[in-house]
């Protein structure tokens, strides 16, 4: 059996739309980086850009936990003596919220030419409007997947069930009793 390798001509791209309203910055960035990288596809190949273009809206409404608004610093240096510039997350979020999301996602992509190619497919907007309606981006659900509901788990008795004897659930173990010595 031969190993299948994805060719660059076989890559299909579907635009995705992610709403950052109320989402935690790190969890949002992880989700977006996965989509940009293409790891959600069965045709993922680490040496190719197999990911989808992603549009992030409501970047100004992203939230962070803890004391990160005041403690997290974005640092850059001009290369000249005394050219160190520091900016807090709070200030950058108020000034350019798109850049906060872009930097968080960029840090989760490969740090090479392939990562540069992937980050070009990221489109971040501070508000709910975006100019990519013609690409028909697919709206993605909430920021975290919901756990599956299991209907075979017995529910606690309600007021209406008081007085009736609980029936054993099929396949469930009988309750354990203490051995008295």
Provide the token pair at 67: 């004391």
What is the C-alpha separation between 139 and 18, in angstroms, rounded? 6
Domain annotation covers residue 171: no
Q: Is residue 102 part of a domain?
A: yes
pTM: 0.75
CATH number for the domain that contains residue 37: 3.90.1180.10
Per-residue pLDDT at 62 exceeds 70: yes
**Distance, CA of 119 to CA of 57 (rounded, Å):** 16
pLDDT at 73 over 60: yes
Distances (CA, A) of 21 to 28, 59, 85, 87, 130: 10, 7, 29, 23, 15
> Which of the four pLDDT bands, split at 50, 70 and 90, describes residue 172?
low
Q: Decide if 27 is inside a domain.
A: yes
In whole angstroms, give the CA distance from residue 130 to residue 137: 11
Residue 20 included in any domain: yes
Q: CA 87 to CA 73: how far, in whole Å?
A: 6
Average pLDDT over all residues of the chain: 87
**Residue range of the domain that includes 30:** 12-61+96-131
98-102: average pLDDT:
97
Residue 30's alpha-carbon distances to 70, 116, 126, in angstroms, are 22, 17, 19
Is residue 7 one of the residues assigned to a domain?
no
Comparing 1-5, 49-53, 112-116, the range with the smallest average pLDDT is: 1-5
How many angstroms separate the CA atoms of 26 and 107, rounded?
Answer: 10
Q: Which residue spans within the chain are E strands per DSSP?
A: 16-19, 54-57, 73-77, 84-88, 122-124, 138-139
Structural domain contains residue 146: no
Number of domains in the chain: 1
Tell me if 57 is assigned to some domain. Answer: yes
Find out whether 56 and 36 touch, Cβ atoms under 8 Å: no
Indicate if the pLDDT at residue 146 is higher than 60. Answer: no
Asked if residue 156 belongs to a domain, the reply is: no
What confidence score (pLDDT) does residue 4 get? 86
């Amino acid at each position: 059996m031969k190993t299948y390798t994805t060719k660059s001509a076989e890559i299909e791209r579907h635009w995705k739309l992610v709403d950052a309203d109320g989402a935690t910055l790190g969890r949002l960035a992880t989700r977006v980086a996965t989509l940009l990288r293409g790891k959600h596809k069965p045709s993922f190949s680490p040496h190719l850009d197999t990911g989808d273009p992603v549009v992030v809206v409501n970047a100004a409404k992203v939230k962070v936990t803890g004391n990160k608004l005041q403690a997290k610093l974005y640092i850059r240096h001009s290369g000249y003596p005394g050219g160190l510039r520091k900016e807090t997350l709070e200030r950058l979020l108020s000034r350019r919220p798109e850049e906060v999301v872009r930097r968080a996602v960029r840090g989760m992509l490969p740090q090479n030419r392939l990562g540069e190619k992937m980050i070009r497919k990221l489109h971040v907007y501070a508000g709910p409007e975006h100019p990519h309606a013609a690409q028909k981006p697919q709206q993605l659900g909430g920021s975290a997947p919901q756990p599956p509901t299991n209907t075979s788990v017995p529910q606690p008795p309600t007021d209406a069930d008081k007085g009736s004897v609980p029936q054993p659930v099929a396949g469930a173990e009988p309750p354990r009793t203490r051995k008295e010595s």
